[in-house]
Amino acid sequence: MGTESLDRLRSEALMLPEAERAVLAHALLESLDGPADADVNSAWDAEILRRLAEVDAGTAKLIDRDEFRQRMQARIDKR
């Protein structure tokens, strides 16, 4: 795909509503992944249950969305 086609596609994609851009971004990222690990779903299920149990027990250290964004931006800026 030439640069002109890519620029046009990017421009059109950026005009989509946020939710549709998120679906498109997810599909594009998924297309870059290799084959799924057979045990990954059960591992994630176990991790999610463990984290939910920590939240329910009051032992999890929670942060608000603004703090999360600041931390992620700091990580990106370090690159």
* Domain of residue 5, residue span: 1-34
Average pLDDT over residues 48-64: 96
Q: How far apart, in whole angstroms, are the C-alpha atoms of residue 72 and residue 49?
A: 24
Length, in residues, of the chain: 79
Q: How far apart, in whole angstroms, are the C-alpha atoms of residue 41 and residue 59?
A: 25
For residues 16 and 45, state if they share a domain.
Answer: no
Instruction: Tell me the pLDDT band of 79, cut-offs 50, 70 and 90.
Output: confident
Average pLDDT over residues 45-74: 96
For residues 26 and 42, state if they share a domain.
Answer: no
* Residue 19 identity (one-letter amino acid): A
For residues 17 and 50, state if they share a domain.
Answer: no
For residues 11 and 49, state if they share a domain.
Answer: no
Question: Per-residue pLDDT for 35 more than 90?
Answer: no
Task: Tell me, yes or no, if the pTM score tops 0.85.
Answer: no
For residues 6 and 44, state if they share a domain.
Answer: no
Maximum pairwise Cα distance, the chain: 54
Name the percent of the chain lying above pLDDT 70. Answer: 99
Q: What is the pLDDT of residue 1?
A: 63
Q: How many domains does the chain have?
A: 2
